[in-house]
Every structure is written in C-alpha cells, then in structure tokens.
Amino acid sequence: MGFYIRQYEVKTANKGFKTIIKPSSKSIKTHYRKLADICDKYKNASTKALITKLNPVIKGWANYFSAIVSKSTFSKLDMLLWKRIGQWAMRRHPNKLAKWVKKKYFPHCKITRNWILNDVAIIRHVKVKGNKSPYDGDWTYWSSRIGKHPGIRKEVTTLLKRQKNKCAFCGLTFRSTDQMGSRSYKNKV
C-alpha cells in the first residue's frame, strides 16, 4: 500500500490516540527513482515530451497520497525533482550559464519561488457524523458529503456540496424532507 501508520498518545484530557498516516520511505524512494529514470531516459527529448511523461506519474502518485499527512513529503519530492530537472536542463546546454538556462526554461517565474510545476491539494478525511448511514435516507447529508446520490441530479449534488448543505438565501441546513427548487441552490456561493 505504501503507507506508514503510527499512533501517538494524546496526553491532554485523556483523548486517547492520534493516528498519523504518511507515505512510506520505500514508496517515496520508488517514486523518486521512477521520476529520475524518466528524466534520464528523456535526456535528449524536448521539454514537452519530458513534461508529458512526468505529469501523469506525478499526478497519480500525488492524488494517491493526497488524503494523508504528506505536505513535507510533497515538498521534499518537489525539491528533489527541481534539482533533477535543473540537471536535465543544464545537461542540454553545457556551455551556457545557469541564469540563461533558467530564463529559457522558466521565463515567467517569480524570484521568491524559482519555478512552479503544479500544486496538488491535500484533502483531509472527514469522519462520518455519529450514526449516519448511506441507508438511513438522509440524502442531503450524503450528497453534500460525497457529491453524488443515485436519485438526485448531478448539478444538485454539486451545488449541495459547494454550499455545504445550506440554503443560499436563508443559510439554513437542508433536511431530507425539504423540497428543493432552483431557488434553494442558486449560484450564490
């Protein structure tokens, strides 16, 4: 699975344990090795070809680990990949200065952050409330939580999720017995 799971005891107010799940070091090394192999394999290829090969690998791995504690891991891999791509760019132009290479490959970058490939949002897992069940008939809760429900149009569930299960006009929370018209979930948010 590629996860490292650890429980830490919470000392304040007898709260029990806090579970921390991170990408395993083996998974990180395997992913970085895969990125490095792609950079090595495409050392004479165009920038577009390299990015086309790297992008799905990075996105897939980042999406897989986006729901766990992975910010520091993403930052570390971001830095390692930057170094690898910098080496790739310098290898293509051995007689040019690093400043020239940066200007050629990363022309629109700000001084504060030298380069930007892309950002992946880290999604926090939200526990299911108390005694809620997908079979209890509370379709407003589940459609706002998941964003889909078999008996409801996709646009309604999307708006419920975006509005956090609340009416756009009065701010009250929807119940499963409520009749919803287009007025209830207008694009106010």
The alpha carbon dihedral of 75, 99, 89, 49 has a sign of positive
**What is d(CA 88, CA 58) in angstroms, rounded to the nearest whole number?**
17
Q: Could you give the C-alpha distances from 56 to 33, 53, 79, 133, 173, in angstroms and in order? A: 15, 7, 18, 35, 39
**What is d(CA 107, CA 115) in angstroms, rounded to the nearest whole number?**
9
Domain residue spans of the chain: 25-106, 133-180
| Per-residue model confidence as pLDDT tens for the chain (189 residues) | 788 788 888 777 667 788 888 899 999 999 999 999 999 999 889 888 998 999 899 989 988 888 888 888 888 998 899 889 889 999 999 999 988 988 888 776 555 555 555 566 777 777 778 888 777 777 667 666 666 566 667 777 777 777 777 777 777 777 766 666 555 555 544
